Amino acid sequence: MSANQRVVVGVDGSEFSTTALRVAGRMAAGLDAPLEVITCLGTSDFFLASHLPEERTPSAGELEETAKRLVEESLERAFGDARPERLTRQVKFGPPAKILVEESRDAQLLVVGRRGKGGLLAQVMGSVSGVCVAHAHCPVLVVGQDGDSQPAE
């Protein structure tokens, strides 16, 4: 199976991304495709960490371990013990929107959650999902928080 058949889902550990993960799992199963979970540690994460007191400044490794833990928690919420068979996960360093657009180059579908409905003019999409929709190299499915209120079967 070639890499361009995979379904990519952006996960940040929030309930929004858990919902996107559930939907991406269903889409991957329906398309008989592997599911790749991508978590991004943006430069803002390092910027904020650099401004913490010395004794509280997390290393890149600590940030990566925290990201992995949050993904595991999201996977548990989304699938429980019924995780997709061909599920892989990666933590990447850099701006989330840029990384997800790059990952879309060899995917058949990119799934992202949206936080929208806030900020200026009650935006429907957040900045990451908006960039993905505008610039991805494959179809993008933006999942709202109400997109799936049922637990995984």
* Exposure class string for 46-65: b at 16+ Cβ within 10 A, else e: eeebeeeeeeeebeeeebbe
**Inside any domain, residue 115:** yes
Contact 34, 9 (CB under 8 A): no
Structure tokens at 54: 């010395």
CATH number of the domain where residue 83 is located: 3.40.50.620
Residue 152 resides in a domain: no
Structural domain includes residue 153: no
pLDDT tens string, the chain, 153 residues long: the values are 455 589 999 998 888 888 999 999 999 999 999 999 999 887 655 555 555 556 666 777 888 888 888 899 999 999 999 999 899 999 999 899 999 999 999 999 999 987 654 444 444 446 888 899 999 999 999 998 764 444 444
Q: Which of 94, 97, 112 is closest to 37 using CA atoms?
A: 112
Contact 152/145 with Cβ under 8 angstroms? no
Q: What's the domain range around 62?
A: 3-147
Domain count, the chain: 1
Query: If 0-12 CB within 10 Å is exposed, 13-18 middle and 19+ buried, where does residue 87 land?
Result: middle
Q: What pLDDT sits at residue 59?
A: 78
What is the pTM assigned to this prediction? 0.81
* Helices vs. strands in the chain: H and E counts, helices first: 5, 5
